[in-house]
Chains A and B, each alone.
Chain A
Amino acid sequence: MTALAVEIERSDSEARRHFTVEVGEPTMVLDVLLALQRTDASLAFRYSCRVAMCGTCTIRVDGRPVLACRTPVLLGADGLLLEPLAGLPVVRDLIVDTTPFSTAWRSVEPWFTPRADAEPRVLAADDPSREAIESGLDCISCGACWTACDLAGAEHRFLGPAALNRAMTLAADARDGARDRRLRLVSQEGGVTRCHYIHGCSGACPKGIDPAASIRRLRRWSIGAGR
């Protein structure tokens, strides 16, 4: 076991910010939070699954947006700085209100719409649209990309990487019947043209998705589809 200094950004300016915690191997940042909760029961943080599936434990660790449950604490590190995600209103301590993120997601009409004109079709293992869809699946809506993107997180004038990535997976899906409508939706102000390809999102995604590539694809298709 080694002692680790932890600083946590708290909502209440009176609340304790500095802690020391004994950590062994293996320890995730979530384990640190669970241990500190026993020292200070008022500490607020969110989690559910512990296995990178729910996307609710996202916080900033030393400035980087990460999943607390998926981020090992390096033994011998100087210390840890834990802060709530940037770009979203703070509810308390490390808990943020993800409404802006889900509003953006919702606005691309993220639901699958079966094609009315054809028999339901299946996508075989080697169907070309599978590769594109699968490149964007498994998003857990954790918001790491939102925080990492200046245009989405800081300015709220952009639908953001996750919503556009979802739109891409639908537009790539030969089974979906709302392609044209969705391509129009993402071509509006605040949509695909707003992305400046700084790639903050792709670097931040804990699931290894490359939203910037998805946006590039989507932009290509939306030009093809006409406005």
Chain B
Amino acid sequence: MPGADAPLPVLETDVAIIGSGGAGLMCALHAAAADPRLSITIVSKGAVGRSGCTRMVQGGFNAVLGEGDSLESHFRDTLEGGHYLNDQELAWTLVNEAPRVIQELEEQFGCLFDRTATGELDLKPFGGQSFDRTVHRADQTGLEIMSRLRDQVFRIGARELEDWRALDLLFDQHGELSGLTVLDTRSGQAAVMLARVVVVATGGSATMYRIAAPAREKTGDGVAMCYRAGLELRDMEMLQFHPTGLVAGTSALTGTVLEEGLRGAGAQLRNRLGERYMERVDPERLERSTRDVVARASYTEIVEGRGTPAGGVLLDISHLGAAEVERRFGEMAARTRLIGADLAVGPVEVSPTAHFHMGGVVIDPDCLTSVHGLLVAGEDSGGTHGANRLGGNGVAESTVFGARAGETAAAIIGGRGLYMPEPELVAASVERAYAPLRREGGQPPFALTDRLKDTMWVHCGLVRTREGLLQAREQLAELAKESSRVAVAGPRDANPAWQQAIDLESQLTVARLIVESALVREESRGAHFRADFPERDDESWLRAIVVERGRDGEPELTTRPVELTRLATGGRMLEQA
């Protein structure tokens, strides 16, 4: 492979931020604010500020700002929604800092959120919440937030490596974090980046499912690279399905999300027989129930034969009147018209869609991990949302913890030097990335990616059983074997097929950890539903499943009791020391 064996270029920086979503850009801005002299490098697999899911946030951002609302209430909703699997200190940090971040976004960065005629923030209702607290800008909230953060990043003048992907974390011979390997996907050139502090913010992954919502880049790279580096991951079995993904045949529009606010505003779900099945499943909250409940209800309708021929159920908000739907959900309506339906005037076919990974790297409220100098923020981290994330808590998480990571980075950098990475680590990482280009005779990754998505959808999706999971385990092992024969003919510059081959490796790693964790959890909680253990079992399972890479390279799983530091199950607030 031309150039691959020549000495690699070496870049240096104080803070290397991997990912340019809400967490990555907030991190950059807060690190720069804390210490303007820091050199900051943003490594972004897609366009800076225009890749990832923060930008795709339609619905909005939960923060306690309305009169009569309280932090305690938001906290309680978050834990109830998370079925008490949450790391309560992370959840509390989220709830406590979300209002300040909204204020910063508006007053410092100029975001324009919807307000009422009297000037108050227009707070909309979302699923699973006891109070209307979702800040938004129509149905384009993430676009407004990310565009304004992106503009601010121009101001601080960070080094931006756009269309560069991070490959692996690097360590020196004593195990000190020294930086990472990176790949410029436009030129195909790999490089070593030495960094005092590395922040992983690649936005997790939920892309290894047949029907899925997230952006292309989100293939679990950050989580997989942390796993390979020996960090602990938690709650990997907790993968959220959004109840209302579009059904659009073979188009890539399939799985894209019709936003949560629709159900908040009174949209109804019906099966093919016209039956409003949420009346059966959750008569009190109906469609405004939490995502896990609604998604599983729809899934059950579909697999039990009460869905539409195309495999969906019907979402209808037309009773609001076309003009009102247009005003409040214009982009959603426009999208449905592309596929020959129209949300403004009638029902639209939807299916649950893989959406968000609650699981991820174990962090503390300052985004610190067990590796000195390595921080993780946003969807790559685990624990904040427990077994199910509330709509509107995702962008809150990425911005709140992104900001904290930036501050932490500035605070700890004094104690960190630049360390020379072990050459074998560099070589192995680069070799792995280039391998598909160097192989001959194999196939491109597409068919394997499809099979991975089918396996996960069928055997490790909304309803799981031991048998199904064992099948998934077997199929993933076979896929892993076959993936080591994937070959892409080149060229190496700007080659999406090659990049997808690298993506597949991360996706397979994460998928395996999801399956292994799902096998261990013999109960049902939040997003994780075991048909063979359909009840939640607090007695035995108020525990997080933690996985790390064992000495033999195989996943090692343990469980750890959830610490009820602030709120007991059943909702009793505990005294704070």
- Check B495 for interface membership: any CB of A closer than 8 A: yes
A:165-200 near B, CB below 8 Å: 166, 170, 173, 175-176
Closest Cβ neighbor of A125 among chain B residues: B117
B494 partner, pick from A26, A28, A93, A124, beta carbons under 8 A: A93
What residues on B are CB-neighbors of A26 within 8 Å? 248-249, 251, 253, 338-340
What residues on B are CB-neighbors of A74 within 8 Å? none
A140 touching B50, Cβ below 8 Å: yes
- Check B346 for interface membership: any CB of A closer than 8 A: no
A50 touching B253, Cβ below 8 Å: yes
A53 touching B249, Cβ below 8 Å: no
B:96-120 near A, CB below 8 Å: 106-110, 112, 114-119
B107 partner, pick from A110, A111, A120, beta carbons under 8 A: A120
What residues on A are CB-neighbors of B444 within 8 Å? 38, 41
What residues on A are CB-neighbors of B216 within 8 Å? 47-50
A132 → B minimal CB distance (Å): 11
A112 touching B251, Cβ below 8 Å: no
B117 → A minimal CB distance (Å): 5
A44 touching B50, Cβ below 8 Å: no
- Check A223 for interface membership: any CB of B closer than 8 A: no
What residues on B are CB-neighbors of A53 within 8 Å? 55-56, 140, 142-143
**Bound CA–CA A134/B327 (angstroms):** 13
**Bound CA–CA A30/B152 (angstroms):** 31
- Check B252 for interface membership: any CB of A closer than 8 A: yes
- Check A16 for interface membership: any CB of B closer than 8 A: no
A210 → B minimal CB distance (Å): 16
Q: Mark A14-50 against chain B: 1 for CB-CB distance below 8 A, else 0.
A: 0000000000111110110010011001111111111
**Bound CA–CA A27/B339 (angstroms):** 8
A2 → B minimal CB distance (Å): 14
B493 touching A111, Cβ below 8 Å: no
What residues on B are CB-neighbors of A34 within 8 Å? 252
Q: Mark A89-126 against chain B: 1 for CB-CB distance below 8 A, else 0.
A: 00111010010000001100111101000001011111
- Check A65 for interface membership: any CB of B closer than 8 A: no
Closest Cβ neighbor of B49 among chain A residues: A141
A112 touching B50, Cβ below 8 Å: no
Given A24-B249, A28-B253, A53-B55, check contact A112 B109 (CB 8 Å).
Answer: yes
A14 → B minimal CB distance (Å): 11
A28 touching B338, Cβ below 8 Å: yes
A37 touching B144, Cβ below 8 Å: no
- Check A3 for interface membership: any CB of B closer than 8 A: no
B119 touching A110, Cβ below 8 Å: no
A69 touching B117, Cβ below 8 Å: no
**Bound CA–CA A140/B497 (angstroms):** 25
Q: How large is the interface on A (under 10, 10 to 19, 20 to 34, 35 or more residues)?
A: 35 or more
**Bound CA–CA A45/B154 (angstroms):** 26
- Check A79 for interface membership: any CB of B closer than 8 A: no
Given A44-B495, A48-B216, A56-B50, check contact A111 B155 (CB 8 Å).
Answer: yes
What residues on A are CB-neighbors of B451 within 8 Å? none
Closest Cβ neighbor of A38 among chain B residues: B446
B497 touching A42, Cβ below 8 Å: yes
A214 → B minimal CB distance (Å): 15
What residues on A are CB-neighbors of B338 within 8 Å? 26, 28, 70, 72
What residues on A are CB-neighbors of B151 within 8 Å? 110-112, 166
B483 → A minimal CB distance (Å): 15
B:4-60 near A, CB below 8 Å: 46-47, 50-52, 55-56
- Check B73 for interface membership: any CB of A closer than 8 A: no
A175 touching B110, Cβ below 8 Å: yes
- Check B381 for interface membership: any CB of A closer than 8 A: no
**Bound CA–CA A157/B249 (angstroms):** 45
- Check A156 for interface membership: any CB of B closer than 8 A: no
- Check A217 for interface membership: any CB of B closer than 8 A: no
Closest Cβ neighbor of B340 among chain A residues: A26
B325 → A minimal CB distance (Å): 17
**Bound CA–CA A10/B51 (angstroms):** 25
What residues on B are CB-neighbors of A126 within 8 Å? 117
B215 touching A137, Cβ below 8 Å: no
What residues on B are CB-neighbors of A109 within 8 Å? 154-155
Closest Cβ neighbor of A106 among chain B residues: B154
**Bound CA–CA A35/B115 (angstroms):** 44
- Check B438 for interface membership: any CB of A closer than 8 A: no
What residues on B are CB-neighbors of A44 within 8 Å? 494-496
- Check A62 for interface membership: any CB of B closer than 8 A: no
B50 touching A55, Cβ below 8 Å: yes
A114 touching B108, Cβ below 8 Å: yes
What residues on B are CB-neighbors of A70 within 8 Å? 338
What residues on A are CB-neighbors of B109 within 8 Å? 111-112
What residues on B are CB-neighbors of A123 within 8 Å? 112, 115, 119
- Check A216 for interface membership: any CB of B closer than 8 A: no
A140 partner, pick from B118, B119, B143, B340, beta carbons under 8 A: B143
B60 → A minimal CB distance (Å): 15
Closest Cβ neighbor of A115 among chain B residues: B107
**Bound CA–CA A28/B493 (angstroms):** 26
A42 touching B252, Cβ below 8 Å: no
- Check B555 for interface membership: any CB of A closer than 8 A: no
**Bound CA–CA A31/B252 (angstroms):** 6
Given A41-B489, A41-B497, check contact A111 B256 (CB 8 Å).
Answer: no
**Bound CA–CA A110/B153 (angstroms):** 10
A45 touching B496, Cβ below 8 Å: yes
A124 → B minimal CB distance (Å): 4
B493 touching A92, Cβ below 8 Å: yes
B489 touching A50, Cβ below 8 Å: no
List B residues at the A interface (Cβ < 8 Å): 46-47, 50-52, 55-56, 106-110, 112, 114-119, 122, 137, 140, 142-144, 147-148, 151-152, 154-155, 186, 215-217, 248-253, 256, 331, 335, 338-340, 444, 446, 488-491, 493-497
- 13 pairs, A vs B, C-beta closer than 8 Å: A24-B249, A26-B253, A26-B338, A26-B339, A37-B446, A48-B51, A49-B56, A92-B494, A98-B47, A112-B108, A123-B115, A126-B117, A141-B50
List A residues at the B interface (Cβ < 8 Å): 12, 24-28, 30-31, 34, 37-38, 41-56, 69-70, 72, 91-93, 95, 98, 105-106, 109-112, 114, 120, 122-126, 130, 133-134, 137-141, 166, 170, 173, 175-176
With A46-B496, A125-B122, A137-B140 already in contact, 6 other A-B pairs whose C-beta atoms are closer than 8 Å = A56-B46, A92-B493, A93-B494, A110-B151, A125-B114, A141-B147
